[in-house]
Structure 1
Amino acid sequence: MTPPPAIAAPGDRVARSPSWRRTVTLYGLPGLALAMPTIPVFVFLPTLYAETLGLGLAAVGGVLLLARLVDGVTDPLVGLLSDRWPTRWGRRKPWVALGGLMAAPALLMLFLPPEGAGLGHLMLWTLVLYLGWTLVNVPYTAWGAELSGDYHERARITGWREGLMIVGILVAAAMPALASALGWAEQAGLALVAVAAVALGTPAIVLLLARVPEPAPDRPPPTRLGASPWGQARAVLGNRPFLRLLAAWVLNGLAGGLPAVLFPLYLQHGLQVDAGTRDALILLYFVAAVAAIPGWLALSRAWSKHRAWAAAMALACAAFVWVPLLDPGTAGVAAFAVICLLTGAALGADLALPPAMQADVIDLDALRTGHRREGVFFALWGMGTKGALALAVGLAFPILDAAGLDTEAATQTPLALGMLVTLYALVPVALKLGVIALVWNHPLTRRRQGIIRKRLDRTGAASC
């Protein structure tokens, strides 16, 4: 089937047209609202229910772990459904709409709990929220890969989406501070994030559904692709460039997850900074990521997406390797601010370029099978992301506990501090070097992707 003209692979003239820019803008806008609750849900929600509501750390941890396990197995099913269940409104749009209708009330119920809310309330609405997020996120990212078949334009689309997601994180981070300045309790600040995410996300998703086109529905898949979610997943794993890219993505996710989960501990026990300085460093990191995205996109156009991503990871390694030499004090904090600036800039490439490379490997799958399976591909991509973050927590905290790190102690043993610095900085450097080795000779260059697109256009499988 032939896609609507608005989503045909744009050339330079089309990519610069007002209608195409509007399409890309409206596609990316929901990312801002979708990202706003991420830190509150993953960082502050456990404390809210365990301490503020008095449900206990062990009980709350068990509930959230169970919810996360359920969440981890829904991705392939949602990906398959959004690929293979065409409707009069499209394949992606109904699931995004359903996910938004589920996630919005769940978010409000979690951060505005009624009197007497207990573990059942937490379990129910966490499951609804996670399922709603998956229903939105998997089709949404797959939809972005389908908007354009152009090698460079794909990076622009993902860069715009991921940049707005970082802006959403920054906006959410400012709201608890605003609530504190107004004299509100911490819980009120978290509730403000939830309300703002729903208020901003509702019109953004409505505009996305109403104004952004998606490709025509696919034909029914041939038997060889398999009908079950796991059959689809096994078939996808036969795509070697995808496996290589997925392995790089998971390793890089672990390399980014370790510093993310250990950042507060390193600042508290390694550099011994106060909360205000910590927040300023976080702000610097994310602002640098947003500001650097246009530069990485320009470098990817001049070079290639995989080489630009490798250059960004090399920059992160060159910055992080100096962390073990830092000492508490003004000079150490100033040097660490420079490291945050450089590694934040590298994060911009991590966010913008790999998903665009993912879209390229999906083209190879479409050429081989005659069918588009963005949903299944991005479902496995999402599972890799979740798995890497879970592994970062699962590895770091037990190792630090075995090394004798005491979060309540004013001073730490040399062994504990050394292990903290190693896990925070040196292990990520080693992992990123491995990722560079995986992606440096990524087979789907601009020339090869262009050949694949031409063959897809000839066979009629570019969008169906």
Structure 2
Amino acid sequence: MTILPPETRQATPVFFFYALPALPLAAIALPLYIIVPSFYAASFALPLEAIGAVLLAIRLIDAVTDPVFGWLADRVSSPIGRRRGFFLASLPLTALAAFMLFWPPADAGLAHLAIGGVALSIGTTWTILPYTAWGAELSGEYHERVRVSAWREGTTLVGSLLAISLPFAGGLESADGLHGLAWIAVLVVTLLPLTGILAAWRVPEPVDRSVRRLTLRESLSHLTANRPFLRLGAAFLLNSFANAVPASLFIYFVTERLAAPGYEGPLLFAYFLAAILGVPVAVWASSRWGKHRAWSVSMVLACFVFSGAGFLGEGHVGLFATICVVTGLLLGFDLALPPAIQADVIDHDTVRSGEQRSGLYFAAWSFITKLSLALSAGVVFPILGFAGFSTTAGQVQDAVALDTLGVLYAWLPILPKLAAIALMWRFSLDRAEQQRLRGELAR
């Protein structure tokens, strides 16, 4: 088994092979929250309120599974390493659960959505935690951690492009036959095992810097006492919620508020294509100003640009496309920089606790991500329902429903983003502090 010293600088092929599994994992995440709710509502006549409740319940289950799998990811070893072995063992469940949820039978209902959603949530948690911990430990150098994150998140965006192109190309009008969401099911069940095996073959296992082992209770105690993590986690939750609200409402905003059905796919494609271009800009900006300051500036710009969407209405597709491109560029910062800051936060904990617990920290990270997505669905869908918004095809929406949709989509996200900026602008763990921590770990 190849063990990677944490200060070793890696060649580009290592980052390339490490990033490959992010493509099928992205093809799981995006449809689950953007396409699955509207697809199940339209195809199986399920109310949006019930779908939102199911998604929120699944996230509550994650409150238990995330810390357990994070703790196991730091403890379970195998002949090929604790990160690679635990990651490979998860792939069958994740791939099969995605296939089940994205290619439902003709008589599927709320129970199928709930069972498939729970299985997929457990599987992706099991897959992503050792995978992201693996990436956080590939390098101990401040800026190279941004490169690792950028490769993974850039590949995630490529997977997102496929995830928004294939469903609309294959059609979402009916749950019969090989529809667009079923195309995603085939892609995931094929590519996830293949890319996972390639990554385990070509990417080395990081060294474990632990000098002691903590119980789960001790681990959680150290985590909750880690002030930089609490600050970063709060900012990440606020910003993720701000991003999840428009993601949950995107299809309805385009088809109903802009009255532009058929433009959902091209607009999402432009958004994620711009985000791919934004990732190298984020890498450059972080090297110039530091990770937390570059991220904060990007959030300020996003608030300013996205607020314009609230003034758009029927026929304003061109203006909305411009907003999608600019905010897509800024999404590259949201994706590349916070996980790299998280890797530095883990160093802070390792120095104080004596155990390198990247798995547990990314379990908390994963839970925050899922909670933000579920909160968005649990908050905005009931409000839309109370405002009289109808998901019935061909139903004419009244002015109150459309205005509520516009406010939720464009202006609600600004408040949590501003709070996230306030938390991160003077973040204490900068390049100098991270280098000091690495010196303590080396000693």
- Report the TM-score, using the length of structure 1 for normalisation: 0.86
The aligned counterpart of 1:424 is: 409
* Residue of structure 2 equivalent to 1:251: 238
Distance (Å, rounded) in 1 between the aligned partners of 2:317 and 2:403: 18
Select which of 184, 187, 200 maps to 1:209.
200
Structure 1 residue 213, shift from structure 2 partner: 1.3
Separation (CA, whole Å) in 1 of partners of 2:425 and 2:360: 25
Q: Distance in 2 between matches of 1:9 and 1:359?
A: 13
Task: Tell whether the 8 Å contact from 1:177 to 1:189 is kept in structure 2 after alignment.
Answer: yes
Listed as ranges, the matches of 1:243-282 within 5 Å are: 243-275=230-262, 277-282=263-268
SS of equivalent to 1:322: helix
Q: How many residue pairs end up in the alignment?
A: 439
Aligned-residue offset at 1:389: 1.2
Q: Is the 8 A contact 1:179 1:186 kept in 2?
A: no
* Structure 2 residue aligned with 1:321: 307
Correspondence for 1:30 among 2, 10, 21: 21
- Alignment correspondent of 2:372: 388
CA distance in 2, matches of 1:71, 1:322: 35
CA distance in 2, matches of 1:383, 1:436: 21
Question: Does 2:26 align with 1:8?
Answer: no
Q: Is the 8 A contact 1:82 1:92 kept in 2?
A: yes
Flag structure 1 segments of 5+ consecutive residues without an equivalent. 459-464
How many angstroms apart in 1 are the aligned matches of 2:385 and 2:202? Answer: 52
Choose 448-457 or 88-97, whichever is displaced more.
88-97
Kept in 2: contact 1:237–1:243 (CA 8 A): yes
In the TM superposition, residue 7 of structure 1 has moved relative to its aligned partner by 4.3
Paired residue for 1:352?
336
Query: CA offset at residue 232 of structure 1?
Result: 2.2
Structure 1 residues 65 and 433: alpha-carbon distance in aligned structure 2, compared to 1, 3 A threshold: closer
Q: Say if 2:136 and 2:343, in contact at 8 Å, map to a contact too.
A: yes
Give, in whole Å, the separation in 1 of the partners of 2:405 and 2:137: 42
Match of 1:305 among 263, 268, 291: 291
Partner of 2:427: 442
Letter in 2 for 1:297: V
Superposed CA deviations along residues 9-67 of structure 1, whole A, max 9, x for unmatched, are 24xxx45xxxx211111111110011112233344445666665688888877766554
RMSD: 2.8
Larger Rg: 1
Moved more, 317-326 or 112-121: 112-121
Q: Which amino acid aligns with 1:339?
A: I
Match of 1:365 among 349, 354, 359: 349
In the alignment, structure 2 segments of 5+ residues that lack a partner are none
Which piece of structure 1 moves more, 147-156 or 318-327? Answer: 318-327
- C-alpha contact (below 8 Å) 2:52/2:374 kept by paired residues: no
Letter in 2 for 1:160: W
- Distance in 1 of aligned mates of 2:211 and 2:100: 39
Per-residue deviation at 1:303? 1.1
Relative to the length of structure 2, the TM-score reads 0.90
Aligned residues of 1:86 and 1:217 also touching (Cα < 8 A): no
Whether 1:83 aligns to 2:74 is: yes
The one-letter code of the counterpart of 1:76 is P
Structure 2 counterpart of 1:176, one-letter code = P
- Contact preservation (8 Å) 2:20, 2:152: yes
After TM superposition, the structure 1 = structure 2 runs for residues 396-435 of structure 1, keeping only pairs within 5 Å, are 396-408=380-392, 409-413=395-399, 415-435=400-420
Aligned identity (percent) is: 42
User: 1:88 & 1:101 partners in 2: Cα distance?
Assistant: 19
Aligned residue identity for 2:98:
L
Residue 233 (structure 2) pairs with residue 242 (structure 1):
no
Among 159, 171, 175, which residue is 1:168 paired with? 159
CA–CA distance in 1 between the matches of 2:211 and 2:350?
Answer: 14
